[in-house]
Amino acid sequence: MKKLVCIVVLLFSVGATSQEVDKLFAEGNTFYKEENYTRAVGVYLAIEEQGMESDELFFNIANCYYKMNKVAPAIYYYEKALKINPINEDAIANLAFAKRMTIDVIEDLPKSFFQRFSTNIIQKLPFDTWAIIAVIASFLASLLFLMYFFSSSSKKKLFYFNTSILAVFVLIISVFFAFNNFKTVQKNRVAIIFAPKVEIKNAPSITSDEVFELHEGTKVIVLDELDNWKKIKIADGKIGWIYADNLREI
């Protein structure tokens, strides 16, 4: 009985939290429509503080910061939205506009065929989506094989056999894509520069030499960290150390 009561209380609390979030989200949208972006972003951030994450929420937060001409947080939240949903076309388009507000112009290093394939195909869906596709493909492969095994018609047997092979192929490909995507996400610790201007050092020390400088809104990859310093890499291949407080990881 105690377990049943706990389950009922938990369900009611989850439902109440969901209703509260929906109410806050609607309130934030109202402020946004009224062009009161400061209050709108405050409401959206309150939702985020409750542990809620969605590409729509992060997209709205980014839009508020963009309207307020705050380039670093705008880019940061557009990137967070795309991390959850890489095919969010609105976030992709608005991120391109936000990047025009940045000072740094960094040319990407030439990419290999597999890197381009990974960016354009594998990274277009989150790794959990590829995993779901793999589960569906495995279920279909099993079902089709059973239908092949119990079918009495030779034509149906041929059809079920071929489609089961196709399902197995999709299963293998989606598992590979999910694993590759997961490794890429774990390896690439993406961060955004939040300081208006920051010197990048050749070692994790204030007294070390400056190798280059970056400005707010620039996207970097975090390679390593030591104490309050982080080793970063930018799109053109340059590497250096930055004080951790000057950036935020996505």
Q: List the Cα angle 64/68/72 in 5-degree steps.
A: 85
Identify whether the C-beta of residue 181 lies closer than 8 Å to the C-beta of residue 131: no
> What is the predicted pLDDT for the residue at 18?
67
Q: For residue 3, is pLDDT > 50? A: no
Task: Tell me how far apart the alpha carbons of residues 220 and 184 are, in angstroms, rounded to a whole number.
Answer: 15
C-alpha span between 125 and 39 (Å, rounded) = 33
Look-up: residue for tokens 């310093």? 229
CA dist., res. 118 & res. 114, Å (int): 6
Record: fold of 2-99 = 1.25.40
* Among 25-29, 38-42, 110-114, 245-249, the least confident range: 110-114
Place of tokens 């291949």: 237
Question: Any idea how long the chain is?
Answer: 250
Q: What is the mean pLDDT of the chain?
A: 88
Whether 189-249 and 2-99 are alike in CATH topology: the answer is: no
pLDDT band at 229 (very low <50, low <70, confident <90, very high): very high
Res 108: pLDDT: 79
Q: How far is CA 148 from each of CA 135, 137, 162, rounded to the nearest angstrom?
A: 20, 16, 9
Between residues 118 and 68, which one has the greater pLDDT?
Answer: 68
Residue 13 has pLDDT above 90, yes or no: no
| pLDDT given for residue 242 in this prediction | 96
Longest dimension (CA), the chain: 80
Q: How far apart are CA 61 and CA 205, in angstroms?
A: 34
Burial class (CB in 10 A: 0-12, 13-18, 19+), 55: buried
Beta bridge partners of 197: 215
**pLDDT-derived band at 5, boundaries 50, 70, 90:** very low
CATH H superfamily, domain 189-249 = SH3 Domains (2.30.30.40)
- Read off the pTM: 0.77
**Domain boundaries along the sequence of the chain:** 2-99, 113-187, 189-249
Selection from 46, 84, 88 nearest residue 64 by Cα: 46
